[in-house]
Structure 1
Amino acid sequence: MTVHHGKSSATQETTLRLDDGEIRVHQDGPREAPALLLIHGTGVSARSWEPILPLLTGSHRVLRIDLLGCGRSARPDGASYAVPDQARRAGEALDRLGVEHAVVVGHSSGGVVATSLTEQRPGLVTAVVLVNTGPDMAAYVAKEPGIRVASWAELTDDQVRQAISNGFRPGYEIPQAFVDQFRDVDFGVFAATSQAIRAYLDERSLPDRLAPLGKPLLALFGEEDSRWRPSSANDYRAVPGATIAMLPATGHSPLIEDPPGTAAPLLAFTANHRGR
């Protein structure tokens, strides 16, 4: 295990050498506080949580992982990007760091990985928070931008913003930091991850998977999501005791578009369902 300190002295970056690749983990907040694991969506990294991070670290030990193939984690040849494998790695990372219980939060396809982790490790996951995670592929409404991989590096920042615009509410000015994350996308990993997410959702919907597990669930959904039909959030009512919260004036990425409005229901939920 190699430890690096990031730009902020409060952030500890750790590289964990797992059997099938190195995973980068970022830790913030008091180490003795309840654990909160944040899992990013397709095409980005743990950096996508940075806008909301300061609102969470006062009450939680916040762990953000770069899934294999993303951010500063390894991109090994022949790696599996199947959802259960990504979830397994997340669980192994928590084991290595001595985390016995955690509330797991996933944004977009990160919520699919969070669900798989809950299936595999119900003793580890205290509660689940899904942020703009579609319940099944029938809820997916996005139109693909149709950009050729070969031309990606030649796009201007504004062209990149246009290509990823459905990840945000209409008219939202996408931050440069998010544009930079997308410029670093490995399109092989992106394609494999997208196929893996689709396969997992086609096999069984997330509400069907979560319902028998008995875990507290919070489903947050931006009311102006252009990737997943916002009304599909109601499908999570099939999970006993689930809480559904619609976030006004936000699109697919409320953690970036409106950090305070997203943090408020998340923290209210975690106050009752703490990891350790």
Structure 2
Amino acid sequence: MRQQAVVGRAGAEAYLRWAELPGEGEGVRVFLHGLGASATFDCSEAAAHPALRATGHRSLLVDLLGFGWSDRPADFGYTLEEHADTVAAVLDADGIRGAELVGHSMGGAVALALAARRPELVGALVLAEANLRPGGGAWSRKIVAWPEEEFATRGMAEFTAGESDPGYLATLRAADPLAVHRSAVGLVRGISPGLGQVFVEYDGPKAFLVGELSRPYPEEGDAVEAGAHILTVPAAGHPMPVENPDGFARAVAEASARATAAV
């Protein structure tokens, strides 16, 4: 497990942590997780899959602040832009440019924010059912309906009690309630320009992954209009990295091969 110090709003240090899988090539692949999730948990099996190891990329499985193994600073805003800046700090510290970003759900929105703010850090976008439209998704809209303090004291417990997926329940319990609420607010607010517009204007290789069980998936059409290559993860819905890590890994590997061929 590696870590990088980042600075909160009040200037206090917090540590963002990630797991790293070595690769034989020079490429770097960065996995970014969804709301209430953890890349070190959700993406570890897929990242270690032979189809992805064969690409030669070094893989970084990043737990965003407030989630997984990373610190949970109370003075952090947890907006999409602030999450993106912490990922940028990791890449800057390692001298990484042109990384392949694999963003699932909220992680895809963070990847788009990073592409808008620091385009030199992003060499390809692989978004798995990422937020492309303003207003967030059904999950984030339910969260922001709670006032922040009330969600932290009561709402988080209700959401956790209502979750039946054991894997997601594990990462949700590890997540900080303030981070969950503020990140949901960030998803609903979006960025300027909009997430979908950033995806349209991004001129590097881009792919959009859709779970077979998620269809019809409204934002798939948005991804098509943005010029993204659409890939299906079979036998999976929205939590595709966990439901079908083999299919998820193979879809990411295909997107990566297309990105390499396009360079």
Q: TM-score over 0.5 for the alignment?
A: yes
In the alignment, is residue 238 of structure 1 matched against residue 225 of structure 2?
yes
CA distance in 2: counterparts of 1:262 and 1:63, whole angstroms: 16
In the alignment, is residue 82 of structure 1 matched against residue 76 of structure 2?
no
TM-score (norm 2): 0.82
Maintained 8 Å contact 2:156/2:177: no
Please name the residue that 2:242 is paired with: 256
Q: Secondary structure at the match of 1:135?
A: coil
In the alignment, is residue 181 of structure 1 matched against residue 168 of structure 2?
no
1:260 to partner: Cα distance? 1.6
Runs of 4+ in 1 over 4 A off after TM superposition: 141-155
1:216 to partner: Cα distance? 1.5
Of 44, 60, 83, the match for 1:63: 60
In the alignment, is residue 220 of structure 1 matched against residue 219 of structure 2?
no
Tell me which amino acid in the other structure corresponds to 1:48: D
1:162-201 matched pairs, under 5 angstroms: 163-164=162-163, 174=165, 176-200=166-190
Maintained 8 Å contact 2:46/2:249: yes
1:32 to partner: Cα distance? 4.0
1:54 to partner: Cα distance? 1.5
1:179 to partner: Cα distance? 2.6
1:1-276 matched pairs, under 5 angstroms: 13-20=1-8, 21-30=14-23, 32-46=25-39, 47-55=41-49, 56-59=52-55, 60-137=57-134, 140-141=137-138, 144=142, 160=160, 163-164=162-163, 174=165, 176-200=166-190, 204-225=193-214, 230-240=217-227, 242-274=228-260
Maintained 8 Å contact 1:87/1:116: yes
Tell me which amino acid in the other structure corresponds to 2:223: Y
CA distance in 2: counterparts of 1:194 and 1:44, whole angstroms: 13
In the alignment, structure 1 segments of 5+ residues that lack a partner are 1-12, 166-173
- Deviating more after overlay: 70-79 vs 103-112: 70-79
1:273 to partner: Cα distance? 2.1
Maintained 8 Å contact 2:103/2:126: yes
Q: Secondary structure at the match of 1:271?
A: helix
Maintained 8 Å contact 1:135/1:233: no
Number of positions where the alignment pairs a residue of Structure 1 with one of Structure 2: 246
Return closer, same or farther for 1:17/1:128 CA change in 2, 3 Å cut-off. same
More helix as a share of residues? 2
1:148 to partner: Cα distance? 7.2
CA distance in 2: counterparts of 1:72 and 1:262, whole angstroms: 23
1:53 to partner: Cα distance? 2.0
Maintained 8 Å contact 1:220/1:247: yes
Deviations 1:26-69 (A, max 9, x none): 11022644110000111122221123122133432000111111
Give the root-mean-square deviation of aligned CA atoms: 2.9
Maintained 8 Å contact 1:234/1:244: no
Identity across matched positions, percent: 24
1:152 to partner: Cα distance? 8.0
Deviations 1:96-137 (A, max 9, x none): 123222100100011000001111121121110110113214
Q: Secondary structure at the match of 1:190?
A: helix
Deviations 1:120-163 (A, max 9, x none): 121121110110113214683458499976568988xxx95x73
In the alignment, structure 2 segments of 5+ residues that lack a partner are 9-13
CA distance in 2: counterparts of 1:92 and 1:163, whole angstroms: 35
Tell me which amino acid in the other structure corresponds to 2:219: S
